Structure 1
Amino acid sequence: MHPDLFHLRREICRVGQSLFQRGYIHSSAGNISARVPTAAGGGLLITPSDACLGFLEPETLAWLNADGERLAGPPPSKSHLLHQRLYDLEPDAGCVLHTHSSHLVALSLLRAWNETDLLPPLTPYYVMKVGHVPCIPYLSPGDPHAAHWLADTLTRHRAKGLRLRAVMQERLGPTVWGPSPAAAMATLEELEETARLWLLTQGQPTSLIPEQIDDLRQRFGASW
């Protein structure tokens, strides 16, 4: 097995176990995928359908080619079309991660901050490490139309010069992405923690002011 493919398999399992042990995922909810380098065969690795992410084994991940055809392993997660579409749209994405994180789902059940953004710019690290998180309407798990909503959302934000790292699907949970599984996990952690703070404070805190956000843009390249 190519060493890059071997490493990716182990890293997906490591991230899944870490998220499970810390309560970011539960039961068989959620899925993780990683882009396979061309030198290692291309396509993507993704967790199997109805798998518990806390007890993954490297050899049991599904391997799909660029067209979504299974090259090896069990049937993939029912959300594999969304993952594939995201890799097509985001060339720098190396990992896509979807969970049913409790505070984020709870927030989507109550209310988003406004019509398009799940959360306000509460903390500097939320602005720097996560940025805008648009909301996508509820669709059944695995519904292929979710990929169309994702494409439209990314296109609209790019037109404004904004980079996205996550979207939130109502009643289901966040989908986040990054250059590696570790980076995607860090984005999810910051996003879930900000949702927890917002719920703990009952939506009372004021947002960072425009001058503070502009400073984060200038100094750290924040996309807000």
Structure 2
Amino acid sequence: MTALLSEETRARDEIARIGASIFSRGLTFGSTGNISVRLSDGSLLMTPTNACLGELEPARLSRFTAEGVHVDGDKPTKEAFLHRCMYCARADAGAVVHLHSTHSVAVSILADVDPADVLPPLTAYYVMRVGTLPLVRYFPPGDARLAEAVGEEAGRHHAVLLANHGPVVAGKTLREAQYAVEELEETARLFLMLDGRRVRPLTADQVAELRRR
């Protein structure tokens, strides 16, 4: 029990610290975005509803049982199901980050992207940290159909892009999820900057080599 309490304390502090970093660099704004961590007993810590990631109080984070029942902390975000979908589908997921990051959202609104893989492999780090990025069709925030749509993709992809909404990214650790969602946002920014210009993305062979590594 003591070890679990120590793990939970560290996770609470890390969520607040990474939330502040994400917010201070303009990767989300207002009360948008949410972060969660799965503890070793399967329980979840999650940023609550209407919380600014730049002003999180570790003691007020929402806590859920392994079965998804809210048992402690402030009222949970209505997007908690996005996190649970990832955890249910991915046994390796230790954390999930969902943002409304500007460039990723902009790409999610474009009419002519490939819904099976939204962004091209512009850099090696994008391939290694994100990989294939499917576009999840639009549903209103909190809609149960969005949970079903995310669940359909989560088993095959640790990162998805919600149409007209933003990215949801899982990682083995919170730091890994943070780096992946930041790589996704930076690649979306590059993609928009290069719009209309001829580009030289990585070839299929180069992508395959990265994945083998």
Q: TM-score normalized by structure 1?
A: 0.88
The residue type equivalent to 1:208 in the other structure is L
Match in the other structure for 1:210: 204
CA deviations over 1:71-104 (Å, ceiling 9, x no partner): 1111111111221121111111010110000001
Match in the other structure for 1:62: 62
> Which one of 171, 182, 185 corresponds to residue 178 of structure 2?
185
Match in the other structure for 2:92: 92
Give how far 1:203 is off: 5.2
> Which one of 168, 181, 192 corresponds to residue 161 of structure 2?
168
**Aligned-residue identity in percent:** 42
Q: Which moved more, 1:56-65 or 1:77-86?
A: 77-86
CA deviations over 1:153-184 (Å, ceiling 9, x no partner): 235x4xxxxxx221000111000010111111
Match in the other structure for 2:36: 33
Q: Does 1:125 align with 2:125?
A: yes
The residue type equivalent to 1:16 in the other structure is G
Contact 1:79 1:143 in 2 (8 A): no
Write out the 4+ residue segments of structure 1 that deviate beyond 3 Å after TM superposition: none
Give how far 1:217 is off: 2.6
Contact 2:117 2:132 in 1 (8 A): yes
SS at match of 1:215: helix
Q: Which moved more, 1:173-182 or 1:137-146?
A: 137-146
2-structure distance, mates of 1:18, 1:115: 30
The residue type equivalent to 1:129 in the other structure is R
Give how far 1:211 is off: 2.0
2-structure distance, mates of 1:170, 1:95: 22
CA deviations over 1:127-167 (Å, ceiling 9, x no partner): 11110010001111122222211221235x4xxxxxx2210
Quote the RMSD (CA, aligned, Å): 1.5
SS at match of 1:23: coil
Matches within 5 A, 1:97-108: 97-108=97-108
Q: TM-score normalized by structure 2?
A: 0.93
1-structure distance, mates of 2:39, 2:88: 13
CA deviations over 1:194-213 (Å, ceiling 9, x no partner): 00001011153132112222
Say how many residue pairs are matched.
209
Q: Which runs of 5+ in 2 are unaligned?
A: none
